[in-house]
């Protein structure tokens, strides 16, 4: 499967987007009688045929529970499930497969760290450092842990362009800091954070670093060893895979020290009436029957992305993002959020139409077959910082085109026509 044109920039750098779009059956459908323009991949991406068919094949021809089964179907399902784990480890540059833990989503991955590593290592007076641009999934679990342990939450502040203000990093990350938890890329503004100085400072004081990669991993090449992440959490459904599959990577020595968070089947070594001993990694942190079909389908999603190349995905999104931002600036009157420097930005565009509620904008675009996300995007502290209640968000991915952007602008013209009359009254 090759989608690069082989033109300038080398193989896999120029995408044949029309060929890619042909792999996604939903993109040929309609919404409200109009051809679908899907601009909500930051919430959940669409799925290619290869992923859909892989999941369908599992249920039609390979359905069985994994591990311990001696019959053929169980062994086959186990083999495919564990091979998907190997694919994930290679995709993110992990040293081996056993440091990849499957969960239900990014939220559960972060909660696993908070409840297992956090409860063991965070004590009264210790500090947990976050930023003002975190998704609630990388905020609320730390609030809960801090309340339980009487720890202190501290925040790296924001500049008005939604980049992080690193001016006082040495005063924010101190000898009392046990963990720094930061998103790789904002789901609201698309800001791609410069994590290197944060990680460098954390190392100086002996703190661990958790990176919320829910947005970053689907847009940017990843190598957790070179980037020196202690924890890396992300979800399959934002990167062409099925829903219900999350991933937690952590350094092996950290995972070995973490007690199980949930007890049950598959995570034990020996069970007596009074006590139990636990299985080796990764099983010790994966209690119960997992989303087998989803994990196997995720393996197919990784195959698809690797055939394209994440460098090509990034290049395509930057070209599309540049086009979209220029068109929206020319449109005039929109309040835009996020950095202007595209080198520190991913394919997420948040904006507001002055005088028009985001829900009204989203409803009018829906009538035109255009799917965007509106609201606070699970980032209410950022909304408070900006003094707004929410935004409209259009998010781009590898299957989007300039024509999609043009349709968005046509939809915004309709918003302007409708509310221009209303606002003049």
Q: How many helices (H) and strands (E) does the chain have?
A: 15, 17
Residue whose structure tokens are 């930057």: 318
Three-state SS letters, 268-334: EEEECCCCEEECCCCHHHCCCCCCHHHHHHHHHHHHHHHHHCHHHHHHHHHHHHHHHHHHHHHHCCC
Nearest to 349 by CA among 401, 310, 309, 405: 405
Q: Which of 327, 378, 316 is nearest to 349 (CA)?
A: 327
Which 3 state secondary structure label does DSSP give 341? coil
CB 338 within 8 A of CB 282: no
DSSP string, 11-49: TTSSB-HHHHHTT-GGGGSEETTEE-EE-BTTT-----H
Tokens 């497969």 label which residue?
97
Active site residues: 378
d(CA 347, CA 38): 13
């Amino acid at each position: 499967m090759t989608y690069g044109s082989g033109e300038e920039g080398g193989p896999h750098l120029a995408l044949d987007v029309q060929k890619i779009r042909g792999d996604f059956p939903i993109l040929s459908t309609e919404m409200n009688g109009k051809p679908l323009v899907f601009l909500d991949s930051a919430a959940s991406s669409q799925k290619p045929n290869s992923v859909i068919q892989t999941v369908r094949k599992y249920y039609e021809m390979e359905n069985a529970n994994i591990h311990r089964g001696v019959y053929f179907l169980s062994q086959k399902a186990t083999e495919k499930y564990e091979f998907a784990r190997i694919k994930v480890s290679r995709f993110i540059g992990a040293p081996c497969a056993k440091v990849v833990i499957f969960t239900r989503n990014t939220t559960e991955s972060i909660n696993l760290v908070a409840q297992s590593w956090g409860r063991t290592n965070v004590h009264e007076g210790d500090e947990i450092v976050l930023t003002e641009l975190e998704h609630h999934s990388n905020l609320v679990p730390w609030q809960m842990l801090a309340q339980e342990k009487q720890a202190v939450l501290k925040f790296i502040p924001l500049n008005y362009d939604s980049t992080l203000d690193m001016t006082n990093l040495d005063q924010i990350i101190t000898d009392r800091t046990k963990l720094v938890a930061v998103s790789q890329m904002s789901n609201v503004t698309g800001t791609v954070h410069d994590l290197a100085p944060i990680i460098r400072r954390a190392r100086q004081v002996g703190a661990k670093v958790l990176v919320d990669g829910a947005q970053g991993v689907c847009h940017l090449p990843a190598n957790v060893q070179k980037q020196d992440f202690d924890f890396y959490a992300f979800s399959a459904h934002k990167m062409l895979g099925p829903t219900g599959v999350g991933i937690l990577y952590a350094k092996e020595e950290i995972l070995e020290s973490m007690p199980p968070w949930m007890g049950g089947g598959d995570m034990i070594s020996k069970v007596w009436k009074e006590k139990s001993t636990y299985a080796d990694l990764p099983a010790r942190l994966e209690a119960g029957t997992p989303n087998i079909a989803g994990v196997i389908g995720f393996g197919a999603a990784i195959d698809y992305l690797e055939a394209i190349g994440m460098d090509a995905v990034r290049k395509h999104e930057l070209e599309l993002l540049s086009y979209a931002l220029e068109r929206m600036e020319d449109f005039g009157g929109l309040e835009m959020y996020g950095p202007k420097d595209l080198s520190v930005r991913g394919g997420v565009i948040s904006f507001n139409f002055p005088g028009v509620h985001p829900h009204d904008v989203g409803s009018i675009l829906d009538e035109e077959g255009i799917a965007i996300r509106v609201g606070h995007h699970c980032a209410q502290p950022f909304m408070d910082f900006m003094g707004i209640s929410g935004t409209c968000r259009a998010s781009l991915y590898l299957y989007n085109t300039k024509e999609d952007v043009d349709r968005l602008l046509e939809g915004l013209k309709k918003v302007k026509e409708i509310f221009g009359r209303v606002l003049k009254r």
